Amino acid sequence: MAPRRPKKAPAKRVFQPLPKNTFWIEHDAYDRRVWEHLRAEAPSLRELESAGASLLPHFGSLLQDIFSLLFKYNIKYHADGDVLPSALLNRNFLHAIHNGAQYAFLREQTLLNEAHAGLSTLILGERLLTLVREEKFLTRRDLRDLWDIQKQEEILDQKIEEYDNADTIPEDQLSEEGKKALQKAKEKMGGEVQGAEALLRHKTNQLKEDLKQIESQAANRMQAEAIKVAQQLEDATQEAETWGNTIGSAEKSPAGQKLELGRRLAGNEKLKKLARMVGRMKFHAQALRKKVFERASEELLEVEQGDALHRLLPHELLSLHHPLLRKDFYRRFLDQELIQYSLRGIEEKGKGPMIVCLDGSSSMSGDKEIWSKAVSLTLLEIARKQRRLFRSICFSSAETPLQVLDMNPRDRYEVETKTIMDLAEYFPGGGTDFQKPLDAALDCLRQSRFKKGDIIFITDGECQVDPQWAEGFREQKDKLGFSLFSILIDMGPASLGTLKEFSDRISTIKQLTGDDAKEIFVNF
């Protein structure tokens, strides 16, 4: 009798794992690095990504794909089999943008321009999210189907992993019964994988059919949004350039900061008007100060520390010829510790830090707000150029918290665009209380870094103060040795009465023109 041949083990089934990719447009290392840097610098992008992730699967991948569609020179799409089925909706959105008539015009502004491409991505992403929330593209059932597909993908991945892990169990250490049980378990898991694959395939096919029905509608809406984005991008770019000229900076702004600035400027008429006003004021203020300085009569008074290169003692300049002393010279220049001559004359008047109290009460709304903030930002530019600290204190009623902003930190005295926008956009409204901001200004002047500073108080003057408080404030003013300059925004109702109680000088603005306001900058 011939020996019985051993039964062959059934052939192992090989299941194709799902792709891990959720992007439709090919990215290289440079593209990913540019996007990550932009995302790190722009909080608005991260906030949008977080908001969209709760509504649509792979919304972060969609944003990066939109950025690539606008930024990259060569656009190449992945094949369907290389992308997860739950990202199918993203492809429809991308094709709608890419195939639109406005795409070529939009791409002219965004090609290889990080800030413009990022701002366009942000605006498109926000509009897209709004349309999805309003069910302009998909119904709630469609959204539920998308999440069901993503869940089914996770289930399939888990079952394939369990099936593959079963092969790691060493059969030579099992009994015959154990081997049979293991084989039976493998067959069961294989059947579960097949079932999960079939269910995912069915759901995916159903989603494709649903997307075909809304493809035309989605394309029309996305193309219309692209037209609006192109218009907003052009306006925001021009306004951002205006703001950049309004408040100078020693360095080129990072792309993320430009993106944030463009987003805040897009469609904001108040900021556009304010930028134009500041530009005119800055021109007149600088021209006036230059004229005053040319007439200045000055004399050497004493030796002091500072960073005025034209007044350095000769031995300080000799340090530049020595390789080691040169580094020490640069350090002391940044810290304002170089030995220089002190001059006595007009130019030395009012050179300390500025503490600007800005009235944000309801009576300051409209043109008064624009004027007051234009004055404040012009003073900020003067402080930046003269390397003087500048603190802004925006106030309204006694119950409303103060907005306190240090506009130019001492390390470089440069101004961040975000801080300027925070000042420009903030307007609390409500009643008016002078005592709270002036008490805060006193606390500021008691700090060593604000020593020898002065207070600039910008208001329409419509407020009363307690007589005892006013007397105490005047005593503190004499003790600390500072001056308080008030700028009355007298367009409409205004009052000088209260300001006279604690001001050393009061300037007024009578008309909405830059020429009439230049005199307020003479002594700053």
Top-ranked range on mean pLDDT: pick from 120-129, 183-192, 259-268: 120-129
Say if CB 440 and CB 402 are below 8 A apart.
Answer: yes
Tokens 């205004």 correspond to 494
Model confidence over 117-153: pLDDT tens digits?
Answer: 888 888 888 888 888 888 777 778 878 888 888 888 8
Lowest mean pLDDT among 200-209, 238-247, 441-450, 490-499: 238-247
Closest by CA to 21, choosing from 58, 66, 55, 74, is 58
Lowest mean pLDDT among 119-133, 279-293, 430-444, 475-489: 279-293
Residue 472, pLDDT above cutoff 80: yes
Distance CA(339)–CA(313), nearest Å, equals 6
**What's the token pair of residue 456?**
């600039």
**What's the token pair of residue 128?**
């897209």
Residue 157: C-alpha distances to residues 17, 42, 182, 231 (Å): 7, 34, 21, 44
* Beta-strand pair 390-395/403-406: antiparallel
Residue of higher predicted confidence among 85 and 279: 85
Identify the band that residue 1 occupies on the pLDDT scale cut at 50, 70 and 90: very low
Residue 206, pLDDT above cutoff 80: yes
Residue of higher predicted confidence among 247 and 83: 83
Q: Which residues pair with 507 in a beta bridge?
A: 487
- What percent of the chain lies above the pLDDT cut of 70? 78
Q: Which residues pair with 312 in a beta bridge?
A: 340
Residue 516: C-alpha distances to residues 201, 249, 260, 382, 472 (Å): 74, 27, 33, 18, 35
Residue 371, pLDDT above cutoff 70: yes
Residue 174, pLDDT above cutoff 70: no
Identify the band that residue 250 occupies on the pLDDT scale cut at 50, 70 and 90: very low
pLDDT of residue 501: 84
pLDDT of residue 204: 82
Say if CB 488 and CB 455 are below 8 A apart.
Answer: no
pLDDT of residue 294: 43
Give the count of alpha carbons within 13 A of 361, CB side only. 20
Lowest mean pLDDT among 211-225, 319-333, 334-348, 363-377: 334-348
Closest by CA to 277, choosing from 167, 373, 201, is 373
Within 247-268, where are the H helices? Answer: 255-265
- If one counts every other C-beta atom within 10 angstroms of the C-beta of residue 280, the result is 17
Residue of higher predicted confidence among 232 and 470: 470
Which pTM was predicted? 0.63
- If one counts every other C-beta atom within 10 angstroms of the C-beta of residue 410, the result is 14
Tokens 């498109």 correspond to 124
Distance CA(404)–CA(503), nearest Å, equals 21
Torsion on CA atoms 263, 363, 403, 497, rounded to nearest 10: 140
pLDDT of residue 348: 41
Identify the band that residue 419 occupies on the pLDDT scale cut at 50, 70 and 90: confident
Torsion on CA atoms 473, 477, 480, 483, rounded to nearest 10: 140
The answer for residues whose C-beta is within 8 angstroms of residue 243's C-beta and 6 or more apart is: 261, 265, 271, 275, 417, 420
pLDDT of residue 243: 64
Instruction: Map out the domains of the chain with their CATH numbers.
Output: 17-243+252-267 (no CATH), 299-344 (no CATH), 354-521 (3.40.50.410)
Closest by CA to 480, choosing from 390, 353, 336, 343, is 353
- If one counts every other C-beta atom within 10 angstroms of the C-beta of residue 495, the result is 15
Residue 62, pLDDT above cutoff 90: yes
Distance CA(260)–CA(239), nearest Å, equals 13
Residue ranges with strand state E in 365-402: 390-395
pLDDT of residue 520: 59
pLDDT of residue 292: 42
Mean pLDDT of 108-121: 86
Identify the band that residue 296 occupies on the pLDDT scale cut at 50, 70 and 90: very low
Residue 516 DSSP label: G
Phi/psi at 412 (5° precision) = -135, -5
**What's the token pair of residue 255?**
């792309």
- From the number of C-beta atoms within 10 Å of its C-beta (0-12, 13-18, 19+), residue 270 rates as middle
Mean pLDDT of 48-72: 92
Lowest mean pLDDT among 72-86, 305-319, 508-522: 508-522
Residue 411, pLDDT above cutoff 70: no
pLDDT of residue 170: 66
Say if CB 354 and CB 390 are below 8 A apart.
Answer: yes
Distance CA(185)–CA(460), nearest Å, equals 83
Residue 295, pLDDT above cutoff 70: no
Q: With the C-alpha atoms ordered 122, 123, 124, 125, is the resulting torsion angle positive or negative?
A: positive
How far does Cα 136 stand from its chain's mean position? 29
Which conformational region is residue 435 in: left (phi greater than 0), alpha (psi within -120 to 50 degrees), or beta? alpha
Give the count of alpha carbons within 13 A of 297, CB side only. 0
The answer for residues whose C-beta is within 8 angstroms of residue 47's C-beta and 6 or more apart is: none
Distance CA(48)–CA(466), nearest Å, equals 48
Residue of higher predicted confidence among 259 and 47: 47
Query: For all residues of the chain together, what is the average pLDDT?
Result: 79
In our burial notation (b when 16+ CB lie closer than 10 A, e otherwise), range 346-359 reads: eeeebeebbbbbbb
Within 19-174, where are the H helices? Answer: 29-41, 43-53, 59-71, 88-98, 103-110, 114-133, 140-165
Mean pLDDT of 205-228: 76
Q: Which residues pair with 340 in a beta bridge?
A: 304, 312
